[in-house]
Amino acid sequence: MTQELKEKLAKVVELVKNDMVDPDIDIEYCIPEVAVTSDKCDVSGEPYILVKYITEEHDVHERKIKIRRKYQQMSPEDLANLITFYIEQFKEEIDSVEYGGE
C-alpha cells in the first residue's frame, strides 16, 4: 500500500468516525497499516469496514463494506460520503425488516 493511499484511507477513517456518531452503530475498521480496530479482521484481502447495527431488540446485524480498488481512486471526502451512505442504507434496510418500515 502506498503512503499516499495510507494517508487517504486514514483521512477516510477520520471522516467516517466524525459522520457516524450513532449509538446503535458499531464500526470496525479492517484497513491494514491504517486502522485495524478488531482482532477478527481478515487482512488478507481488500481493506474493509465492518458495520454492526444493534436494534432495540438487541439483534446484531453485520455488513462488510469493502474498499475496492476503484473506490481507492476517489477523494477521501467522496469515499467517506459513499461509506456513510452505505451505512445509512444498511441501517434503513434493517429498520424496514425489523420494524416493518415504521
Alpha-carbon distance of 46 to 88, in angstroms, equals 22
Q: What percent of the chain has pLDDT over 90?
A: 73
Alpha-carbon distance of 87 to 27, in angstroms, equals 9
- 48-93 residue pLDDT tens: 999 999 888 888 999 999 999 999 999 999 999 999 999 999 999 9
**Residue 101 predicted with pLDDT over 70:** no
Query: At 20, is the pLDDT very low, low, confident or very high (cuts 50, 70, 90)?
Result: confident
User: Euclidean distance between the first and final Cα of the chain, in Å?
Assistant: 44
- Is the overall model pTM greater than 0.85, yes or no? yes
Tell me what pLDDT residue 97 has: 84
